[in-house]
Amino acid sequence: MDIEQFYSEDERRRRSAELELGTNWFDGNGNRYELSWVEDTGELYVMLERLPGAGSWTPFGDIEVGQSSTQSLTVSVVGRIATREEVETVLGGWEEEMGKPDGIVWVADRLAEHGAAVSPPA
């Protein structure tokens, strides 16, 4: 989904404070991710900027990309974390991991380790 659809599906998202957890995460294919947490819903989401021809697989599973342009951002909820304190526990040290090649895999692994990962759509 795009960012407007993301916010429209749950108005709490639009009103909520958000914690940005980096805008330059990358996967092994070179796709770029922005990572944020929505306080009122507890959702951790990524905005994915795909490279042309990179496919739809991500460390969070297969992302549904539909007919979107390769220049657009695709938004997906990848985790649920109830409080800011838990975000800091689950993703503590993210600043050092973000710049690493394929660093977004670290996020997926941390979410899985802490039982906070959201299953990809069937």
**Domain limits, the chain:** 3-113
On the CB side of 111, how many CA atoms lie within 13 Å of its CA?
A: 24
- Specify whether the CB–CB gap between 114 and 80 falls below 8 A: no
Amino acid in the structure at residue 93: G
Give the integer Cα–Cα distance in Å for 12 and 68: 25
> What ranges in the chain are assigned the alpha helix state H?
3-9, 11-15, 84-90, 94-98, 104-113
Given a cut of 70, is residue 108 above it in pLDDT?
yes
> Is 57 strand, coil or helix?
strand
pLDDT single digits (tens) 45-93: 999 987 665 555 566 665 554 444 444 689 999 999 999 999 999 999 9
